[in-house]
Amino acid sequence: CFAAFWSRGSCWCLLLPSRAARGWSGAFSEADGARPTGEPRATRIGSGCSCFPLPTCGPNSPCAQREKEQQEAIEHIDEVQNEIDRLNEQASEEILKVEQKYNKLRQPFFQKRSELIAKIPNFWVTTFVNHPQVSALLGEEDEEALHYLTRVEVTEFEDIKSGYRIDFYFDENPYFENKVLSKEFHLNESGDPSSKSTEIKWKSGKDLTKRSSQTQNKASRKRQHEEPESFFTWFTDHSDAGADELGEVIKDDIWPNPLQYYLVPDMDDEEGEGEEDDDDDEEEEGLEDIDEEGDEDEGEEDEDDDEGEEGEEEEKCVS
């Protein structure tokens, strides 16, 4: 008998199978019921057995007092936590008010910055190419199309919690008819995210989203790694607006300070400069070696001249 316990006025004994038995589940069965081999079973041994009931807490016992104190502590913790949650909600509301205030104050500076950026050719395509996350989404033809991108604007709605919009302004280009491409992100009343965007009016044979898909299907049999989808598929993808990383990157990382990515040096240029520096170092080392060899040769010639002069002097003395 592994253990005895009281249940429904009777003493029960828990019988365990042999340690070698397989399939023991660790749970005991109903009384007097035949169980499969390998499972423990509970056997009734009568009301007159030597079985001690489990200790219980009486209404005035110490353990009953401890349980009461613990329950009261839990209730007080819950009350305090409710106050903390209330303050957190209040803080969020205050933060949103401050954000709304400063968003309005920043608008004139955003406008001035856009006017200055317009004076720099290819500013935005360079910024996107230099950004590690955005560049991973760009194919060669995407970059060509983005050379016609002249302005980017991010607008947060009056109620910041309700969402934002990103506008892309393009010059006349050979890819699509649109002058502006936009994508909006919204939170509905239930808090579920959604998005909508401008329909891209592609010119004949210039739909980069279809071309990217066809290229991937053909190349998938030849390569393990597929080319990235076209950047412009982002405008048609509304499957998971709440996890739209590109929108968040543009709004929270690029838009606040695009200049930091525009000024990032081209990695290819850095590698090229590094190789040139290595070549220069090797050339300098080669020149130093040549100079040292030349000095050694000159030293040997000087020694030969000295030996020749000494030989002539000895001949004169002998004569």
- pLDDT value of residue 133: 94
- pLDDT value of residue 304: 56
Any idea what the Cα angle at residue 309 is, between residues 304 and 312, rounded to 5°?
A: 125
- pLDDT value of residue 192: 82
pLDDT along the chain (319 residues), means of 10: 54 51 39 42 49 58 83 93 96 90 93 97 97 93 96 87 91 97 87 89 93 50 54 89 85 96 72 58 57 56 54 47
| Alpha carbons 257 and 151: distance in angstroms, whole number | 14
- pLDDT value of residue 222: 41
- pLDDT value of residue 152: 97
- pLDDT value of residue 210: 86
| Alpha carbons 249 and 96: distance in angstroms, whole number | 20
- pTM for the whole structure: 0.59
Any idea what the Cα angle at residue 12 is, between residues 10 and 15, rounded to 5°?
A: 170
- pLDDT value of residue 81: 96
CA-based nearest residue to 181, from 201, 203, 161: 201
- pLDDT value of residue 298: 54
